[in-house]
Chain A
Amino acid sequence: MITEEQTNQAVAEILNSHKNEKKNLIPLLQEFQAKLGYLPKKSMQEIADFLEMPEVEVWGVATFYNQFRFVPLGKYHIRVCMGTACHLGGGKLILEALERELDIKVGETAEDGNFSLERVACIGCCMLAPVIVIGDKIYPKMTPFKVEEALIPYKQEPQSENS
């Protein structure tokens, strides 16, 4: 989790680099999320004050778009492509396999904070369908069987850190 102090500092930095114009609302939300990993409640209030608009309007815009999140992501964020080509190639089975392997539902973050799972519409790699993305790495031509294999290095890493 991010401390309040860190949040405050990040918020101030980002706000200072923008003008008080309504068209900057979405860029502000995007930069906050890029910096903080998600949009904490406090940041929404800050943006509303800065742009001199009701906080509810900021929430309205933020909740309208798929990109914005209001809970922190896992250390490894997994995106499952659910575009047409991936669907036809069995994307739903891949998603189910991930839910099984990670023991979380899509949209959730695991309790230990290691993994979070998200479905996305299309990442534009249709010729490699079905694909998943772990962090920045794209895993092409997945099968439910290969899911387990793909997760191994990520599941092992936290242990090696402890040892």
Chain B
Amino acid sequence: MLDNVWLIPLFPLIGFLINGLFGKKIKNEAVIGGIGTLMIFLSFLVSCGILMQLVGMPPEQRVFEKVMFPWIHAGSFKADMAFLVDPLSAVMLMVVTGVGSLIHLYSIGYMHGEEGFYRFFAYLNLFCMSMLLLVLGANMLVMFIGWEGVGLCSYLLIGYYFEKKSAGDAAKKAFVMNRVGDFGFLLGLFVLFWWFGSNHNIWTINFVEIKAASHLLPYGGVVTLATLCFFVGATGKSAQIPLFTWLPDAMEGPTPVSALIHAATMVTAGVYMIARMSFVFIKAPETMMVVAVVGALTAIFAATIGTAQNDIKRVLAYSTVSQLGFMFLAMGVGAFGAGIFHLMTHAFFKACLFLGSGSVIHAMHHALHKGHLHDDAQDMRNMGGLRKALPITFITFLVSTIAIAGIPGFSGFFSKDEILWQAFANPYHGSLNILLWGIGCIAACFTAFYMFRLVFMTFFGECRINPKVKEYLHESPLVITIPLMVLGFLAFVGGFIGMPKLLGMLPNYFEHWLDPVFELANEYGKQYAHSGAHHSHALEFGLMAFSVVVALIGISIAYTMYMANKSLPEKFTSAFPGLYKVVYNKWYVDEIYDFLFVNPCKSFGNLLWKGFDVVIVDGVVNGTAKLVMAFSAGLKGLQSGYVHNYAMGMAIGVVTIIAVYVFR
């Protein structure tokens, strides 16, 4: 099976070619969607086979490189078109192909009747191929090809509704920000390549070879430079501070795209890349610190913004940014396994959430359309009480929300708690630990709050949708709900394979599975962080309990604010008519809450959003653009069109050059 690893990216490529070339002629949606889904599902089957085979091998032998053909050979420089299978890429394969298949299936229902249905599936398959190349690449160049490819597909898919101007702008923003990140990746590659080559005459960009030679790398210095470059690449792709603003805008794309690309797979590429090069990153303590701090800040920052949003997809988008921040936090504190674990569980529950929101939007849209209304189908203020109309969506959504909030027993709890514990207990960042852990906890609290706010506003309470169209609300078809159910199930149980030792019911399969990949990095880590303080089990247990409490606090705030106070008025109405007015106004609790909590919170969120996001980030980006444009206009001014000016320019050039060389 291992030898057939090349089949994995090949199937989606075939799908892309069939749908891209003949899709317009096929016309039949079932055939187009069927081909697209089948291809990625075949990849999933091959991936399963590979996983099984890996499981059957002794842990230390679980590395396999398949060279397809020599690709670029130039003197000492060598890059093959080669695939690398090891436990890490196997996990990613399962996530990409598994979640990918479900989302393809879902899209058949969701995209039904859209113009350019074939185009959507062609792009989706192309995306999967690129992502699989990224994951499987045995050297940085193959990875880079995939890296660029996913960026391109994301661009194409965000701009899918190209007739909307905002979609085109969002696509462009995403692409340009991704490119900023990409150049970081290339620079990092160059620096590493050059350093190994010029100092040790090892001209390689192959991961296995770099790993074998990684003991030659010094701590800090050039490694810091290279890893920082790589990290710039990761921030672009994975929407971290300061390059995150494209992700919320990317919600202009169809919802399955948001689920697949902007939640489950592509945006995690940065995390994957750091994990893939863990043995390089760990040698740069400064970079690790930067990664951890950026991750933690992004986690809390995006979470606060999430509390102030009313668009259902935007809440989820900021939530994704925040969760990615958690993953980077894990990477930054050397908890590579925990980060990848969270990546996986996040893929389950966030894909489920996005698809669930898609189902809601689908239903809303359908209903509003029938009633000829033009209300916003994504605004949660127009929703409410949808749990009756959309039972399956509701249950899967709730499960996933509980998972992301970190309630014990659900997948998100295991992974997030592992990250928080590692942030606390890691030996790398001195006294910064507590701070990182604290920020993480607060972010977790916010997460629980805004996710439950989302659930309460959408599925509970009275229905705020226009009564005229209420009757049109109904559950989505099976092709949409089946993926929801599968993902919801995974969001529930997916965490058990990585259960912490402390709870001891199951061995931590996941960590053992990834051990061979991160062993070396952990060893390097130990070499410079000798004083790994030993923490007692009691402490670990206490922290775990604390994080649960924090999550519960978040939930209860959301409950009080969006559920409890709403039922209060009715009881009092008849008994105390005098109080009626007050009670009618819900004890003005909303207002008080608004004044005390929501408004400060919202305005803080808004402030962060408007102040930072709009003014500073966009300002810097636009400012640079303006500066460049001004410079460009200046250069254009030189281009006067007069021959004598051009000749003068040349003569000045010659005189200057001669002056430099002759009068040295």
Do A and B pair up? The answer is no
What residues of chain B have their CB less than 8 Å away from a CB belonging to chain A?
none
What residues of chain A have their CB less than 8 Å away from a CB belonging to chain B?
none
